Amino acid sequence: MSESRFPWSGFGIALAACAVLATLDIDLIYVGLFLAVWIGSLYLVAARPPEAKAAPSDGALTRDSMADLFEHSETPVVITERDRVIIANLSARKLLGSHIMAQDVRMALRQPEAIRLLERNAEGGAVVRGLARRTDIWRINRKTLPGDLAVIEFVNKTAEADISRAHTDFVANASHELRTPLASIIGYVETLQEDVENLDPKMAGKFLGTIQREARRLQDLVSDLMSLSRIEAEKHDLPEKVLDLNKLVERAASDAAAGERASLLDYEATGDFTVLGDQQQLEQLVRNLVDNAFKYGAQGEAVTVRLHPRGRNRVRLTVTDRGEGIAAEHVPHLTRRFYRTDPGRSRASGGTGLGLAIVKHIVERHRGRLDIESTVGEGTRVTVTLPIETKSEEV
């Protein structure tokens, strides 16, 4: 027993009590016995271990502490005792339902892979699908603890799998798009090489024209792929250059409508607008929209470009064509890479299938919004809404 833990104040009180007893003519033998009993009781109290004085009952304090520790974690966590759920944090209750409390965890999960992991009664992990929704992918990790306890953690792998699948699809689609013009070029070159001396000049000219067209298509595709990659790499960097949007839109729209289409461009701006933006990307956005409108609009019909205010702090750019329009089921997918409503017509007009995907990423980088409306038989209208920059300085 350490000196610091002995209750010296209690010992002093015992001595004082004995002194009082002695003044009352009580036999000193009884006074000595009284002092011995008092000091002995003080010694026993001091000798008790601290943990014995405040021992929790049935481990309630431990469970409460564990529940508080995990309650607000974003990762779903379940703690079991002999495979029965004793703790489930907020995220786990949202994922599996509040009814899992006190339930056998194997019944709560109902996943063969997870049940095999739990039945082994060992540490490890398992990947399960459809835990909350049919397309979800989760990794379940199990860690055993003393006292027949186990911690089960649920890690959502759905987004990671979606990104991996998107990359795989992109590579497959890009390879297909690149292979098509390459196959055409190689085929026509081989045909020309077979009988160079006797080849009709008119036929040779036709073949060379096809080779040139496919080579340019290949060049455009590579250029768009590089643009898309560059825009995605910069999508988290907010542009800082102040631009005169009126002049930029008018110049880019005129470039896209150069030549025979120039007379069909109908441009109008109601007000002066400045934005924080990347000049090259915004010009590419306008050119892509106007070029698409001419490609897929009715031949000889005007394409209208409007720049109007949208409330007090935003500006709205709309590009409208008067063509065949797009069926409603296709509209939500138009900004996907290589998505085409009519692949044959798109390739014949020189489209790469990346124009609207590039537009979408440019709009996102500029903290704007992209809307596409189309009516079959009437035409399509694409609207880009951007925040206005209030600075007076223009670049």
Q: In this predicted model, what pLDDT tens digit does every residue of 123-175 receive, in sequence order? A: 777 788 877 777 788 888 888 888 788 888 888 888 777 777 767 777 777 78
Residue type, 6: F
Nearest Cα to Cα of residue 1 among 34, 37, 50:
50
Mean pLDDT along residues 208-229: 87
User: What is the predicted pLDDT for the residue at 302?
Assistant: 92
Q: What is the pLDDT of residue 356?
A: 92
Would you state the pLDDT for residue 394?
44
Query: How do residues 183-203 score in pLDDT, each as one tens digit?
Result: 889 988 888 888 777 778 888
Is the Cα torsion angle 198, 203, 208, 214 positive or negative in sign?
negative
On whether the CB atoms of residues 51 and 39 are closer than 8 A, the answer is no
φ, ψ of residue 377 in degrees (nearest 5): 90, -10
Any idea what DSSP says for residue 389? P
CA distances from 130 to 46, 105, 203, 233 (A): 59, 16, 59, 32
pLDDT band at 2; cut points 50, 70, 90: very low
Q: By C-alpha distance, which of 258, 267, 245, 388 is closest to 319?
A: 267
- Residues in CB range of 371: below 8 A, 6 or more apart: 382, 383, 385
**Residue 355: which of 327, 373, 326, 334 has the closest Cα?**
334
Q: At 59, is the pLDDT very low, low, confident or very high (cuts 50, 70, 90)? A: very low
Number of other CB atoms surrounding residue 11 within 10 Å: 15
Q: Any alpha helices (H) in 234-319, and if so which ranges?
A: 245-256, 279-296
This prediction has a pTM of 0.58
- Span 338-347, mean pLDDT? 70
pLDDT of residue 30: 61
| All domains in the chain, ordered by first residue | 3-53 (no CATH), 60-156 (3.30.450.20), 172-232 (1.10.287.130), 234-387 (3.30.565.10)
When pLDDT is averaged across residues 102-128 and rounded to a whole number, the result is 76
Closest CA to 384 of 393, 365, 395: 365
Per the model's pLDDT, the better-predicted residue between 58 and 80 turns out to be: 80
Instruction: Lowest mean pLDDT of 158-167, 240-249, 374-383, name the range.
Output: 158-167
Give SS3 for 49: coil
Of the pLDDT bands very low, low, confident and very high (cuts 50, 70, 90), residue 52 is very low
Among 109-113, 223-227, 230-234, 252-256, the range of highest mean pLDDT: 252-256
| pLDDT (0 to 100) of residue 54 | 46
